[in-house]
Amino acid sequence: MAVEMKLPPVLDIIRGNIVKHGNPLALKGAEVASWAKKLNLPAQGEILFYTGGEYQLVPFIDSLVKTMTHMDQGGKGFSLMMGVRNILDKAGINAEKIYASVLAKDKERFNNVCYKAAVVLQQLGYDLCYGGEQELYSGALLYELGYWQDLREYGQKVVQSIKQSGAKTIVCLSPHAAEVFKLVYPKLVNGFQIEVRTFVEMVWEKRDKLPAVKFDDSVVIHDSCRLARELGIDQELRDIMESVGVPVLEPMRSRKWTTCCGGPGKLLFPEISHKIADRRVGELEETGAGVILTSCPYCLAALQGGSREGSGTGVEDLIEFLYRGFAV
């Protein structure tokens, strides 16, 4: 007999958003693709630049989580299976207001990561195409949270949208997208036959073309779990830093032994997640490096959230850091 379990609503909200809106937070396509306006990337080509909307949604997660926890405690019953906008409206909290509370500078920063990534790759000689408003989130969270049946279906849509680009290679900014495409799609979704690369690998291959980054301090690398353990990419980051002439310090735990940033726990256990991030930032700061570098939208957000006011150690994505070399 099937026993249906009622889980915390945030799970189903995320699921509904992905399946219906192609984005875990139901961000609008125009919002997700706004960073690309200046670049005029074609919709078709050999190499598909893939953001999956992940960097773009990161600044919204915290306000969603705050609202959710608030609502849970208030015991407001609200029906599931709706887009987050609907839910927030129904519970009497205005969606636009929640999202409006996200600081413009945060939105801009994370949107800019996508822009900078595209510029870096273009400067290294890659010809990119981009799905724009049609681009769909990979569905990594469907896999992560157990919605495999949904992923089977949703994945077909993703495959179709990717196929439209005619690309042979997809370059993922987020290791979570790369992981799900590379390791899960082949087993769960039919017809996915495109070479999956990460931003890091693409840069690594042409690292001799990278301009030096003028930086008087050293950096410490926070390996993302997915990148280091699932995808086996760790040395590449160090090689890249060597190419741009910036010394790298190693924290107590790195590479295959890297400590999780706590990000995956954010939706259900925000306090624990924050605490873990905080401790990880502590491990990284102990090295005395000037900047903490990572290559994952969730790590970036989590570590940013865990970093202490006034500690002086910045947190940057590898993309942002490399872009320093191009933006003179």
Partner 1 sequence: MSVDLQKEFGDYSKNLNRASKDTNIETAITRAVKAYRATVADAMERYPHTPDLAAEVRRIKADSIANNDALLRQAMESVERNKGKAFYARDKQQALEIVAEIIGKEKIVVKGKSMLGEELHLREYLEEKGNEVWESDLGEFILQLKNDRPMHILSPAIHVPREQVAEIFSKFFGREVPPDIAQEVAVVRDFLRDKYFNAHVGISSANVVAADTGAMVIIENEGNIRLSTAAPPVHIVVVGIEKIVPTFQESMKVAEVTWRYAQYGVPSYVSIISGPSKTGDIEKVTTYGAHGPKEFYVVFVDNGRTAMAQDELFSQALHCLRCGGCMYECPVFQVTAGNFGHTYLGGIGSIWTVFVSGGLEKAAPLLYTCLRCGRCVERCPMQIDVPAMVAELRNRIINGEEQETGLDSQAS
Which of 256, 286, 288, 308: binder of partner 1 (CB under 8 A)?
Answer: 256
- 238 makes contact with partner 1 (CB under 8 A): no
CA dihedral sign of residues 156, 268, 179, 167: positive
Please name which of 290, 292, 296 lies closest in space to residue 315, comparing C-alpha atoms: 292
- 269 makes contact with partner 1 (CB under 8 A): yes
Q: How many residues bind partner 1 (CB under 8 A)?
A: 45
Residue with tokens 């870096």: 120
Under 8 Å between Cβ of 197 and 171: yes
The neighbouring-strand residues paired with 315 are: 292
- 190 makes contact with partner 1 (CB under 8 A): yes
Question: To 5 degrees, how large is the angle CA 75–CA 90–CA 58?
Answer: 85
Instruction: Tell me the closest approach of the beta carbon of residue 32 to partner 1, in angstroms.
Output: 25
Which of 62, 106, 230, 250: binder of partner 1 (CB under 8 A)?
Answer: 230
Under 8 Å between Cβ of 61 and 266: yes
Over the window 127 to 166, marking each residue x when it contacts partner 1 by CB under 8 A and - when it does not, the resulting string is: ----------------xxxxxxx--x--------------
Which of 22, 265, 297, 306: binder of partner 1 (CB under 8 A)?
Answer: 265
- 259 makes contact with partner 1 (CB under 8 A): yes
The neighbouring-strand residues paired with 129 are: 48
Half-sphere exposure at residue 238, Cβ-oriented, CA atoms within 13 angstroms = 10
- List the strands of the sheet with 128-130, edge to edge: 128-130, 47-50, 169-172, 195-198
Q: Select from 130-138, 167-175, 179-187, 233-241 the region that touches partner 1 (CB under 8 A).
A: 179-187
* Rounded Cα gap, residues 137 and 129, in angstroms: 16
Q: Select from 32-40, 208-216, 242-250, 254-262 the region that touches partner 1 (CB under 8 A).
A: 254-262
- 229 makes contact with partner 1 (CB under 8 A): yes
- 184 makes contact with partner 1 (CB under 8 A): yes
Choice between 147 and 323, CB closer to partner 1: 147
* Rounded Cα gap, residues 205 and 198, in angstroms: 11
- Rule CB under 8 A: which of 28-87 touch partner 1? 72
Which residue ranges make up the site for partner 1 (CB under 8 A)? 1-9, 11, 72, 143-149, 152, 184, 186-190, 225, 229-230, 256-260, 262-265, 268-269, 271-272, 275-276, 279-280
